[in-house]
Structure 1
Amino acid sequence: MVGAGVLNLPYAMSELGWGPGVTIMLVSWVITVYTLWQMVEMHEMVPGKRFDRYHELGQHAFGEKLGLYIIVPQQLVVEISLNIVYMVTGGQSLQKAHQLICPNCHDIRLTYFIMIFASCHFVLAHLPNFNAISGVSLAAAVMSLSYSTIAWAATLNKGIQPGIDYGYKASTKPGAVFGFLSGLGEMAFAYAGHNVVLEIQATIPSTPEKPSKGPMWKGVVVAYIVIALCYFPVAFIGYWMFGNDVAENILISLNKPVWLIATANLFVVVHVIGSYQLYAMPVFDMAETFLVKSLRFKPSWYLRFITRNVYVAFTMIVAICFPFFGGLLGFFGGFAFAPTTYYIPCIMWLILYKPKKFGLSWWCNWICIVIGMLIMIIAPIGGLRTIIVQAKTYKFFS
């Protein structure tokens, strides 16, 4: 669950300010715990049937066709956007580690580091299923906790910077408003696990006596404790020490101790290697199912080989063209993550369980729906403006 979005949280705080930033962080944590619990509960709500994919649950709630049209595009945008952002993150972290380890070496362009990062995925993409990446996933989990701890501990050790300013990052009023909107999307981007939670729960054995929701919910609780230990210290300490001078990626703001920050950046690389595969697997599944069932392609090793390599190449090329970490997080966080994480589970819960009108469950779900829809509408505006502003001075393929 702990993705590269954690590294952007101090920057998001600098766009939101102390009061709104802390409030949105805590509210997002509470809402996403609640909606994730709903999805775990709905996985086996029909006796003898398991909804092993997000779109299967969507079809049960909204109808066969409408469920597909609502859920599948949202899921695809989330997973593809994550993979693009992970390409950018992996390349930036490799570049930063190279600069720290060898300060006198010839400067290598970010494009090449993104290509180096992508090269391993042309191999890992051919692993058969989630269980096959369990080792990579475990390593990624350890890495995320490690680099998050290094990020806030090294920042705390560096101390409060001279001339620190906690005002809004932008110097103009429109810039501050658009930055605030982008910050909302960046916060939303950090909570991304809902999009594969049913696929993960599908790998857990289940019987009527011992349904899968028991061990799955224990896993979610542990995950969210780890999220709190990673997200809150990084966001609050990073902003406290750097103010509005913090970089889009907190580890880019840090240079000393050299060995520790270089190690943290390499931890990020290992983590996003695992995370990329976690979110790419459902895309591979959907693409191959569509090609075989709808377009009547013959299932074969070369269909799998071509499909997966084309997808990896696509995410690599987009990342090379638009390596704007903060802007991408702000745009995709609002546009894609808010629906699948904040309010679609609540809408399905209202449809399927029909809680008592104006009761506690009814109010909780409608509050989540309103907050989620507001983020979805306004956050992409700020993210898109950030991308446009950065693109003005960016030399493509640099």
Structure 2
Amino acid sequence: MALFGVSEILLSQIPDFHELSWLSFVAAVMSFGYASIGIGLSIAKIAEPGHHVETGLTGLVVGVDETSSQKYWNTFQAIGDIAFSYAFCAVIVDIQDTLKSSPPENQAMKKSNVIGITVTTFFYALCGLLGYEAFGNKAPGNFLTGFGFYEPFWLVDIGNLFIIIHLVGAYQVFAQPIFSLVESWGSKRWPESKLMTKEYYVKIPLVGIWRMNMFRLIWRTLYVIFTTLFAMIFPFFNSIVGLVGAMSFFPLSVYFPTEMYLVQSKVTKYSPMWIGMKSLSGFCLIVTLVAAVGSIEGIISELKTYKPFAY
């Protein structure tokens, strides 16, 4: 995790989102790579002679695998994990801003959204369905890193390597808009400050010219250090993913987009479309609250037995 943080400190010095196309492409390829490995290993496990696992429409059995309260909390947390898959909405505008004007950005973005969501839904639905068929009620939170598969070691290791590379790129895709927001605010707030605005051009062998800004260097480095330390103190994968998913799902994926659509399209108040949009927004707010509560409970439960920085 420390090495991951160091790599992110270096990559965070890429000046802006427009220069990340190669990194996001690599991350996307890695995503398909480890998903395909997970699907393949699941199919191989299902095909093993005598394979039989406990499965059920509602998953873990109350009174056998867990208590009724644990069932509710885990279900709420799972909703947060699902909501996290909508986190891409936070960077849609930044991605659209990098597109050329022909064809129009909104048309190109709509097409890419349809293709991207369809393909990723297909892959991850297969991972979920086949993973559950392979492990049943004992399925780990992540079957590549949660000790679901042990053999073949080399293929599992390749899958985990793909995950690491994917996360390296994903971190930058989501962090760069935050970097840009803070830096643009700082340059507007203190336009005369050399710390904020002055850039130095540094020649790096085999890489090219690096545009260095002192505020960017300091602020981004501190940000990565903080997030890395936070991740090392609270390494609760599913609970943290569920909480982050819950926090970002309603405001960024539902509320702001629907409100902007209603205003831009001048939808009549209390019309069927207006009622439908408002109902969807209200339902997703409930989903967000439920997911947040479940994830927070999961973090609290794990903190009771976890010792920070202890292996």
Structure 2-normalised TM-score? 0.85
Show CA shifts across 1:231-280 (max 9, x none).
21011111222122111112122222211111011011111111111111
SS, match of residue 251 in structure 1: coil
| Residue equivalent to 1:258 | 153
Measured in 1, the distance between the counterparts of 2:144 and 2:246 equals 24
1:191 to 70, 86, 91: 86
2:25 to 114, 122, 138: 138
- Contact 1:152-1:238 within 8 A present in 2 as well: yes
Map residues 356-375 of structure 1 onto 2, 5 A cutoff: 356-357=268-269, 359=271, 361-375=273-287
* Deviation for aligned residue 1:306: 0.3
Measured in 1, the distance between the counterparts of 2:282 and 2:135 equals 33
Q: Identify which range, 360-369 or 376-385, moves more after superposition.
A: 360-369
| Residue equivalent to 1:348 | 260
SS, match of residue 144 in structure 2: helix
Measured in 1, the distance between the counterparts of 2:66 and 2:232 equals 29
SS, match of residue 90 in structure 2: helix
SS, match of residue 273 in structure 1: helix
Unaligned segments of structure 1, at least 5 residues: 1-113
Show CA shifts across 1:113-143 (max 9, x none).
x001111111110112223221111111111
Measured in 2, the distance between the counterparts of 1:180 and 1:348 equals 31
| Residue equivalent to 1:168 | 60
| Residue equivalent to 2:217 | 305
Residue identity opposite 2:290 in structure 1: I
Residue identity opposite 2:282 in structure 1: V
- What is the CA RMSD across the aligned residues, in angstroms? 1.9
Measured in 2, the distance between the counterparts of 1:205 and 1:360 equals 36
* Deviation for aligned residue 1:384: 0.6
Measured in 1, the distance between the counterparts of 2:172 and 2:73 equals 32
Distance 1:200 1:309, change over 3 A: same
* Deviation for aligned residue 1:367: 3.4
2:112 to 200, 219, 223: 219
Residue identity opposite 2:245 in structure 1: G
- Contact 1:343-1:368 within 8 A present in 2 as well: no
SS, match of residue 86 in structure 2: coil
Show CA shifts across 1:27-55 (max 9, x none).
xxxxxxxxxxxxxxxxxxxxxxxxxxxxx
Measured in 2, the distance between the counterparts of 1:291 and 1:204 equals 26
Measured in 2, the distance between the counterparts of 1:359 and 1:261 equals 53
Measured in 1, the distance between the counterparts of 2:254 and 2:138 equals 30
Measured in 2, the distance between the counterparts of 1:302 and 1:138 equals 29
| Residue equivalent to 1:121 | 8
1:390 aligns with 2:280: no
Unaligned segments of structure 2, at least 5 residues: 199-212
- Contact 1:189-1:330 within 8 A present in 2 as well: yes
Equivalent residues, number: 283
- Contact 2:236-2:299 within 8 A present in 1 as well: yes
* Deviation for aligned residue 1:291: 2.4
Measured in 2, the distance between the counterparts of 1:342 and 1:251 equals 31
1:237 aligns with 2:130: yes
Show CA shifts across 1:115-174 (max 9, x none).
011111111101122232211111111111111111122112112854424333761111
Measured in 1, the distance between the counterparts of 2:254 and 2:140 equals 27
Measured in 1, the distance between the counterparts of 2:214 and 2:54 equals 56
Residue identity opposite 1:231 in structure 2: Y
Residue identity opposite 1:351 in structure 2: V
Measured in 2, the distance between the counterparts of 1:366 and 1:164 equals 41
| Residue equivalent to 1:293 | 188
Measured in 1, the distance between the counterparts of 2:118 and 2:176 equals 26
| Residue equivalent to 1:279 | 174
* Deviation for aligned residue 1:361: 3.1
Residue identity opposite 1:379 in structure 2: A
- Contact 2:79-2:291 within 8 A present in 1 as well: yes
* Deviation for aligned residue 1:288: 1.3
1:268 aligns with 2:163: yes
- Contact 2:46-2:133 within 8 A present in 1 as well: no
1:316 aligns with 2:228: yes
Measured in 1, the distance between the counterparts of 2:252 and 2:160 equals 29
Larger helix proportion, structure 1 or 2?
Answer: 1
